Amino acid sequence: MTRRALLSVSDKTGLLEFAQQLLKLDFELVSTGGTKKALEEGGLTVTGVDEVTGFPEMLDGRVKTLHPKIHGGLLAKRDKQEHMQQLHDAGITPIDLVVVNLYPFKQTILDPTTTQAQAIEQIDIGGPSMLRAAAKNFADVLPVVDPADYPAVTDFLQKNINNQTFRKQLAAKVFRHTAAYDALIANYLTEEEFPEKLTLTFEKQQSLRYGENSHQAAAFYRKPIPAKLSLITKQLHGKELSFNNLKDANAALTMVSEFDQPAVVAMKHMNPCGVGIADEIETAWDEAYESDPMSIFGGIVAVNRQVNAATAQKMHEIFLEIVIAPSFSDEALEILSKKKNIRLLQADLSHRDQAERYEAMTVSGGLLVQETDRQVEEPADFTVVTKTQPTKKQLKALQFGQHVVKFVKSNAVVVTTDSKTLGVGMGQPNRIDSTKIAIQKAMPKDGYEDAILASDAFFPMDDCVKYAAQHNIKAIIQPGGSIRDKDSIAMADKYGIAMVTTGVRHFRH
């Protein structure tokens, strides 16, 4: 018994071979446009869609398959006598297999020269309609959207078994495909900041060995349109990245991208454990390493300059999970590659000013979406609220501390010089505990005599200022805005501390 297959694809990978198999299985091939031409050039006999519908293509090809003789053949339920009788009366032949993939909208908008008019012409109408019709009627019609499925479909047809599970899987894939396609179009056309419907779509990058813990399954998905500043990097060396690696690496990449001068950021559990800046990258590494030699062990390091041989040699002396950089010199790559398991990632930091505008996080039953915190405060934004004025060196240190503290989990307090972190206190349920942790970690280190303290939010009481003063902190930066600001300012004046406020809070939960 001859069955009918409708083929209309933009991606012609494997098409001819698949169509040849369909002919061997007694399918009649129906097609249109470029697909029909490709099949005929391959020596196959093909019936044109216009021969089936009795209606020519029109409107520059916008209308060709939107016809009852196509959609009736797709949607008729074979086990419903009334449906089959209606097909017979209308002279409609059932369609048993639909092979469709859609106009290349994604590839079109990836070209920066594409106009909106050109993009709109690549919005497929007939393709999704046929796919959705076939997928809705998957019990009787086999919907195929992915060339990678051709071998499995061929095997299924050759075995001639009634496997509804396989049919359902193909149907689900169709609806995922068309949903993603529509989401891409919706996002391209949407200009509202927070529209009434949020249509997100991602493509699977890879399966992960496990999630945060070994008993949690996980996978990594990427946006279909690559971000300018992205963790989708080129891995030059090392074993597969884990779930936690990716989270830490993303945090490190985001943070290091904010610095103009050579910078090194070491991350542990999505918190910076060492940050250093200098005129050249080797010294920046020294500063970051000296910030916390213990915590950097097993950490993730991101740098915003090429890794040279001298810096690579120092990195090689300790255990690091990941090093992210714009590039590695040949000598550096040779040195670091001697370690089998270290991952070396090459990330393009030239687009740091085009970082993701929004970030999302899941909650039970929903999704939270917000603008990413790209706010950067300069000394001109500072307000000195104490009698003591900060020195020029302290202002530089306060600016550096403000840069760092916004990447630390709240409650966040950091102690820094003008070039490196000395102590980081994070994630405590109250600010005084974070202050104590940061200062206690900072006190034994060289440079502590020039230390400043930065807080991600205001001081609800003066206890943090008092503790800082008693431990030789000479300058503090904080947002201000507490109803008890006067108490903190008075405590700073009592001890001769310079305090500046920014008016900007940087909570990070």
What's the start-to-end Cα distance of the chain, in Å? 64
3-state secondary structure of 328: strand
CB 42 within 8 A of CB 64: no
Same domain as 230, residue 325 = yes
pLDDT of residue 1: 65
pLDDT of residue 107: 87
Same domain as 347, residue 385 = no
pLDDT of residue 356: 76
Same domain as 396, residue 302 = no
Low-confidence stretches of the chain (pLDDT beneath 50): none
pLDDT of residue 212: 87
- CATH, residue 128: 3.40.50.1380
Same domain as 96, residue 36 = yes
Rounded-to-integer distance, Cα 332 and Cα 315, Å: 10
Strand order in the sheet with 421-425: 383-384, 498-501, 475-478, 452-455, 413-416, 421-425
pLDDT of residue 476: 97
Active-site position among 12, 106, 136, 339: 136
Active-site position among 12, 237, 247, 269: 269
3-state secondary structure of 126: helix
Rounded-to-integer distance, Cα 263 and Cα 210, Å: 32
Closest among 252, 245, 251, 253 to 209, alpha carbons compared? 245
Share of the chain above pLDDT 70, in %: 98
Note whether residue 408 is domain-resident: yes
Closest among 286, 358, 294 to 315, alpha carbons compared? 286
Q: How many helical (H) and strand (E) elements, i.e. helices and strands, does the chain have?
A: 18, 21
Same domain as 394, residue 350 = no
Note whether residue 181 is domain-resident: yes
3-state secondary structure of 63: strand
CB 397 within 8 A of CB 447: no
Same domain as 345, residue 420 = no
Same domain as 391, residue 312 = no
Same domain as 245, residue 313 = yes
In the chain, the number of structural domains is 3
Same domain as 42, residue 182 = yes
Known catalytic membership, residue 88:
no
CB-based burial label for 329 (10 Å; 0-12, 13-18, 19+): middle
Same domain as 342, residue 395 = no
pLDDT of residue 160: 83
Note whether residue 414 is domain-resident: yes
pLDDT of residue 295: 92
427 Cβ partners below 8 Å, 6+ apart?
271, 409, 410, 411, 412, 434
Rounded-to-integer distance, Cα 247 and Cα 24, Å: 50
424 Cβ partners below 8 Å, 6+ apart?
271, 272, 273, 292, 404, 408, 412, 413, 414, 415, 437, 438, 441
Rounded-to-integer distance, Cα 298 and Cα 319, Å: 5
Same domain as 134, residue 54 = yes
Beta strands in 192-334 (DSSP E): 203-208, 218-222, 234-237, 263-268, 271-277, 299-303, 320-325
Its pTM stands at 0.81
User: Which residue type, as a one-letter code, is found at position 498?
Assistant: A
pLDDT of residue 61: 67
Adjacent-strand bridge partners of 475: 452, 498
Note whether residue 359 is domain-resident: no
Note whether residue 33 is domain-resident: yes
Known catalytic membership, residue 506:
no
Same domain as 485, residue 440 = yes
pLDDT of residue 235: 83
3-state secondary structure of 130: helix
Note whether residue 202 is domain-resident: no
- CATH, residue 277: 3.40.140.20
Range of the domain at 249: 226-354
